[in-house]
């Protein structure tokens, strides 16, 4: 079996692109020890603090503004103080898992596929490092925000700190929002979507390779269970998207009279859909597992049949009692070879780890849980918990 691992030095899913280069420029000569943390703090401060200052100045001079006040706007906190830094902080852990995913794949594929594998890894690197996708989306974002800003969801609730309701003109905070904060946020969103698409492309292309895998592997997937780890880590990114959706629901509940009960079905469909989007691509490996199990059943089935027939011939049909069966090694051999076949019989054809799938769904669901407090107080929830656990 091929065991040599390709050198993945310099391979990265996240270290590249326009916004990465911009952040490096902004970071300047700050210490590299906490590089990701520094980038996250810088981007959070640059997107949120000027909005807070300009909104405060408007409140000071104009008095009470219409619509949602800035410091009660949960969606702004979520976007710029949670999602923006989280998107940056997740780069380190997810990049490590991506490299491990490539390394394990390089070990398992057959030698005749190595050259194509290396070419694909190089292509993924170029796609990740390219400025063009981010420049295209940035141009698209500015085209929308400059010419159709009034159609953005954030303006639907009449946020008076962004736009004057009397004149329908953008305030200074509004201009900062559409010129800097919102484009940065959208660019980070697109950046992760682009990298998820690169991973998806890799799954589809790698599934065409020939793999050095065997049906008796303990993971019951022929050694392909590692494919589930990257989707699981990506669920953290999708949990950030969920927090945005949850904050929008919170605004509707707080200021527009909506109810959580009216959105439970939509939330469940949303969580299930995102979870499936992460794991369904792994079905591309189903034909590989099907062929592997078919081969294992036939090869080991014939081997076990021959072994068991020999055992019957020796100990049942032709045993004259001269050789005691008690303590004979043949008994252990019979047990071992039949036990090895069980791993083949129990081998999964669907390369999806249900436990990781459920954990991913749970992570994506977590941001919606605080909305329960719009229905129940903490004391009421505690009482319900006691009743559930102890029947009191």
Look at 118-127, 294-303, 321-330, 337-346 and tell me which has the smallest mean pLDDT: 321-330
pLDDT at 32 over 60: no
| Domain identity same for 54 and 176 | yes
Mean pLDDT, rounded, for 266-291: 94
What CA dihedral angle connects 185, 189, 191 and 192, to 10 degrees? 140
| Domain identity same for 110 and 250 | no
In a domain, 273, yes or no: yes
Kindly list the distances between the CA atom of residue 297 and the CA atoms of 91, 280, 310, in Å, as whole numbers in the listed order: 42, 26, 19
What pLDDT is stored for residue 144 in this prediction?
A: 83
**Dist. CA 139–CA 120, nearest whole Å:** 29
Mean pLDDT, rounded, for 288-301: 85
| Domain identity same for 181 and 231 | no
| Domain identity same for 332 and 350 | yes
| Domain identity same for 29 and 160 | yes
Name every residue whose Cβ is closer than 8 Å to that of residue 385 and which is 6 or more positions away in sequence.
none
In a domain, 169, yes or no: yes
pLDDT at 243 over 90: yes
Taking CA 140 as the corner, what is the angle to CA 138 and CA 145, rounded to the nearest 5 degrees? 95
The residue among 1 and 219 whose pLDDT is bigger is 219
What pLDDT is stored for residue 361 in this prediction?
A: 96
Q: State the DSSP code for 283.
A: G
What residue numbers bound the domain in which 307 lies? 222-316+327-392
pTM given for the model: 0.84
| Domain identity same for 194 and 239 | no
| 327: region left, alpha or beta (phi > 0 left; psi from -120 to 50 alpha) | left
Taking CA 193 as the corner, what is the angle to CA 190 and CA 196, rounded to the nearest 5 degrees? 155
Name every residue whose Cβ is closer than 8 Å to that of residue 173 and which is 6 or more positions away in sequence.
50, 51, 54, 55, 58, 70, 161, 162
Q: What is the pLDDT of residues 326-363, one digit of tens each?
A: 555 666 666 667 667 777 888 888 999 999 999 999 99
In a domain, 207, yes or no: yes
Evaluate whether 190 touches 131 at the Cβ level (below 8 Å). no
Burial (CB count <10 Å: 0-12, 13-18, 19+), residue 72: exposed
In a domain, 129, yes or no: yes
pLDDT at 118 over 60: yes
- Average pLDDT of every residue of the chain: 84
What pLDDT is stored for residue 141 in this prediction?
A: 87
pLDDT at 292 over 60: yes
Mean pLDDT, rounded, for 272-277: 95
| Domain identity same for 202 and 227 | no
**Dist. CA 342–CA 346, nearest whole Å:** 6
What pLDDT is stored for residue 64 in this prediction?
A: 65
What pLDDT is stored for residue 1 in this prediction?
A: 42
DSSP 44-75: HHHHHHHHHHHHHHHHHHH-SPSSS-GGG-HH
In a domain, 321, yes or no: no
């Amino acid at each position: 079996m091929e065991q040599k691992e390709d050198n993945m030095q310099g391979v990265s899913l996240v270290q590249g692109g326009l916004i990465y280069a911009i952040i490096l420029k902004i970071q300047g000569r700050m210490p590299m020890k906490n590089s990701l943390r520094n980038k996250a703090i810088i981007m959070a401060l640059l997107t949120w603090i000027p909005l807070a200052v300009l909104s405060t100045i408007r409140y000071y001079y104009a008095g009470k503004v219409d619509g949602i006040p800035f410091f009660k706007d949960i969606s702004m906190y979520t976007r710029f103080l949670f999602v923006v830094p989280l998107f940056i902080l997740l780069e380190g852990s997810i990049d490590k898992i991506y490299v491990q995913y490539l390394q394990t794949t390089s070990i398992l594929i057959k030698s005749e596929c190595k050259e194509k594998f290396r070419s694909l890894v190089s292509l993924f690197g170029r796609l990740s490092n390219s400025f063009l996708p981010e420049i295209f989306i940035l141009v698209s974002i500015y085209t929308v925000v400059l010419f159709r800003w009034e159609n953005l969801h954030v303006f639907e609730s009449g946020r008076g700190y962004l736009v004057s309701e009397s004149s329908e003109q953008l305030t200074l905070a509004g201009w900062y929002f559409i010129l800097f904060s919102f484009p940065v946020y959208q660019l980070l969103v697109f950046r992760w979507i682009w990298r998820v698409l690169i991973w998806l492309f890799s799954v589809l292309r790698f599934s065409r390779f020939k793999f050095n895998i065997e049906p008796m592997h303990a993971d019951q997937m022929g050694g392909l269970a590692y494919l589930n780890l990257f989707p699981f880590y990506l669920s953290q990114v999708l949990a950030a998207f969920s927090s945005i959706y949850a904050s929008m629901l919170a605004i509707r509940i707080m200021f527009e009279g909506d109810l959580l009960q009216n959105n439970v079905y939509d939330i469940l469909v949303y969580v299930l859909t995102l979870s499936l989007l992460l794991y369904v691509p792994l079905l591309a490996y189903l034909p590989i597992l099907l062929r592997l199990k078919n081969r294992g059943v036939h090869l080991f089935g014939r081997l076990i049949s021959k072994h068991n027939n020999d055992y019957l011939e020796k100990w049942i049909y032709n045993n004259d009692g001269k050789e005691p069966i008690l303590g004979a090694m043949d008994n252990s051999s019979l047990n071992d070879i039949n036990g090895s076949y069980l791993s083949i019989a129990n081998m999964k054809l669907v390369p999806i780890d249900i436990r990781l799938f459920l954990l991913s769904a749970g992570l994506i669901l977590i941001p919606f849980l605080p909305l329960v407090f719009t229905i129940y107080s903490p004391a009421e929830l505690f009482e319900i918990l006691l009743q559930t656990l102890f029947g009191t």
